[in-house]
Structure 1
Amino acid sequence: MTENRQSLINNHEDLEVYQIAFNTAMKIFETSKSFPKEETYSLTDQIRRSSRSVCANLAEVWRRRRYKGSFLLRLNDAEAEAEAAESQVWLKFAVKCQYLDIETARQLYSQYNQILGMIVKMTKNVDKWLLKKT
């Protein structure tokens, strides 16, 4: 990311990774509307929650830029434990249960690979994202 582009980021919603995550979560929401009613409180709820949590974690990451350790911890949550990888698991279940066609799932899974890659890149270049101490 160029210094010029980074200076145009005023809040978490300006982050490209956040925008991709938000759009992917919305696609999952729309797609999951067709899941069977018996999945409402299991697969449907889980995939919606994990996809939305990616966005929520990225918003929190942005607010934690003052503290390197906290920033890295939140990036880790967004990447692994909390949610992008979890969303990929739920996509696989949706395909295996025949609730989601394989092409749609591949597109969504690919979006999460892109999101994960962007989060890893942020982690590797953490100092570029931290607030400057005054």
Structure 2
Amino acid sequence: MKNYKDLIVWKKAHAFVLTAYKTSKSFPKEEQYNLTSQLRRAATSIPTNLAEGCGKFTQRDFASYLQNALGSSMEVEYLTFLSFELGYLEIDNFKRMDSGINEVKAMLISLLTKVRKEDTVKKK
């Protein structure tokens, strides 16, 4: 069991959620229950899965939550692109968000690889 607040990737993901909420405030009202909600839920899912996974006792269980967080990061990447394509995000905001989510994705992949490797080593 780990403290999720000690994970740098959790801190980055949490910061991204705050950015997603702030940025999506300007989305059209008709998107409130569609794109805005979906983007916010997917973004929130990343640090939430990290927090929940840290409460598990095995590396395999933790890896499962990391995989879920990675899936949500892919969803967020697409939703920010869609928001940009629809004209809801200015280019600067899109670039900032795209860079942020890609950093989180890279960190998740790195951590997932490490956790899976540790799990494999423990089994030998």
1:87 and 2:76 equivalent? yes
Does the CA-based 8 Å contact 2:59-2:118 persist in structure 1?
Answer: no
Q: 2:61 aligns with which of 55, 66, 70?
A: 70
TM-score (norm 2): 0.88
The share of aligned pairs that are identical, in percent, is 31
Give the structure 1 partner of residue 100 of structure 2. Answer: 111
RMSD: 1.7
Cα deviation, 1:47-77, whole Å, max 9, x if unaligned, reads 000000101001012112x212211111110
How far apart, CA to CA, are the structure 1 residues paired with 2:46 and 2:94? 17
Q: Which runs of 5+ in 2 are unaligned?
A: none
Aligned residues: 118
TM-score (norm 1): 0.82
Task: Select the structure with the greater relative contact order (CA < 8 A; seq sep ≥ 6).
Answer: 2
More helix as a share of residues: 2
Deviating above 4 A after TM superposition, structure 1's stretches of 4 or more consecutive aligned residues are none
Q: Which runs of 5+ in 1 are unaligned?
A: 1-9
Cα deviation, 1:87-117, whole Å, max 9, x if unaligned, reads 1111011111111112211111111111111
How far apart, CA to CA, are the structure 2 residues paired with 1:93 and 1:68? 35
Which one-letter code corresponds to 1:33 in the other structure?
K
